[in-house]
Structure 1
């Protein structure tokens, strides 16, 4: 989301719209945890298998994704470019 120019304000707006249009409550973080529309839709529908596929346990995979995002943001803030 942030890699393609999204802002925290846009993320909050999308979060509000999703809640208003679907009538479901979800955390703001879940918009970042589920990287595709399909995964987010399954999550909102209550599908227990909505985690990312892979051998890593969900908590470890989530921690790795958050570390990755933090590192990317720090790199961008320091003036570096990721080429994306």
Structure 2
């Protein structure tokens, strides 16, 4: 089982894969590669680390923060080509 930190980084890597900039958003269906059993734990860790924010009026929309973009780029999670 992956740790909360690992799943949080997996969520962050998906933002990088989709080439999302700071303040950019993705919806829950973009994270299909993250196991459902792990997703909430990773999401909580990413929010705790201030990498992402959950939209107030739509709990299935997640916004990448400046800190999240910096963490993703510093971790070598460079944007990957889609497809």
Greater RCO structure (CA 8 Å; 6+ sep):
2
TM-score by length of 1: 0.27
Per residue, is there more helix in 1 or in 2?
1
